Structure 1
Amino acid sequence: MELSLQESILRLFLALLLGSVVGMEREYTQQSAGLRTHILVCLGATVFTIVSITDMGQGLTYINADPNTTFRLVRDPARIAAQIVPGIGFIGGGAVLRHGANIRGLTTAASLWMMASIGMLLGVGSYQLAIVATLFSFLVLFIIGGLERTMFKKYLKKFNLLKVQVTARDSSVPVVEQWLERSFPSKTVEVKLQRHPESQTASMTYTIDLRGLHADVNVLSRNLNALDGVTAASIRVLQEEKEM
């Protein structure tokens, strides 16, 4: 099968476009594999499929080893494309992370797997099916995912809550709050502040929801203790019990 340059470029452009649709949703939720990863997976699957059906799929080669016998060597155009399926498993495995008792990244790994299949569809020229599959994937991740969190919020376990306790000079409270906002944008779910006028200090306790955010607690603790005016700080990971 021969493809023109324009046809190949069209398939790659659609892979970039469709990969970005799902990738933007994963980027929005701050997953380990975001926009660029999904685009590259979709592009890679498309390229491998194009190579498989063009350069490796030139049809049949006949070998006349004997005047009275004709042997036929068949080139399998699916050999390269078939390796995409197990190959994407290595990338998907890298997206699955363990946080204490919680496993994160399974949905992202599944979306990468889906991107590879969409890339293969584009590689063979099934544009309409690829577009429909992308829309369905976006529907599952963005719309159904939002409904899931809303409808079953009461029955879901909340893991990876971070408890930050800080003692600092009273004048340094805004500095600590600005640091927390930079480190955990819109992630603070509870704040407790107690001022001590006699010593001009303040005790602060913040509860941070880490879902969708990957943080190095040791680095954060060092940076927090290095803030001007902070006399003591500790960070520890909590696990919230299931609500009944």
Structure 2
Amino acid sequence: MTTPKTASSTQNGAITTIAFDADDTLWENEAFYRVTQERFADLLADYTERDHLAERLLDAERRNLGHYGFGIKGFVLSMIETAIDVTEERVPASVIKELVAAGQEMLAHPIHLLDGVKETVTELASNHDILLVTKGDLLDQERKLAQSGLGDLFDGVEIVSTKTTPVYRNIFARHGVDPHAAVMVGNSMKSDVIPPIEAGAWGVYVPHNITWAIEHAEPPQDNPRYRHLDDLVALPKLIAEISG
């Protein structure tokens, strides 16, 4: 449970807790997947067209989420499965080897914080409880957090297999947070905005220039607890406004 830095709960409607998504909200992530996917297309150029391959890969990723969860390891296994399928089981072992190597390179890639992230989180951490709520592979997310230099700013870290309304309710309860006094910030409408709003919190959408198709959803425009920011650096001002 977090140790509150702020006055209790919903006094005067104040926001006491701010939760952040990690990938493509605090640091770059999807761009590395796109680079690897281009490499994948090059390796299989003799077998199928790029657009068809991309569709087959996305289908495999959707199917495999329940087996492998989110993250690089599941992505690599989906590429291997797709390569086997589109080549009718004729994919050379050398291609499989390159796909495994590509995944290992992704897992070792240095962290790139997005512009203004450290300054923004540091400012908000001075008088709010700060949580990290991210999904994906445990070891990879722990590695990225350690390399980010942001770890000491978080009062709690939650690495989950998926982000649903019950998951957010459980996180808020575990940390002793009143959802009505909490804000969740992220780049995925499907994972970072809609479920926390349904759990009673505010949902702040900060789009990234690249978003995985699986994370797309229609914004809850009519919900009074939904907000859209073009840039994370505007978040402190927004928090002040909605706190009254």
TM-score (normalizing by structure 2): 0.29
TM-score, L = length of structure 1: 0.29
Larger strand percent:
1
Structure with the bigger RCO (C-alpha within 8 Å, sep 6+) is 2
Structure of higher CA gyration radius:
1
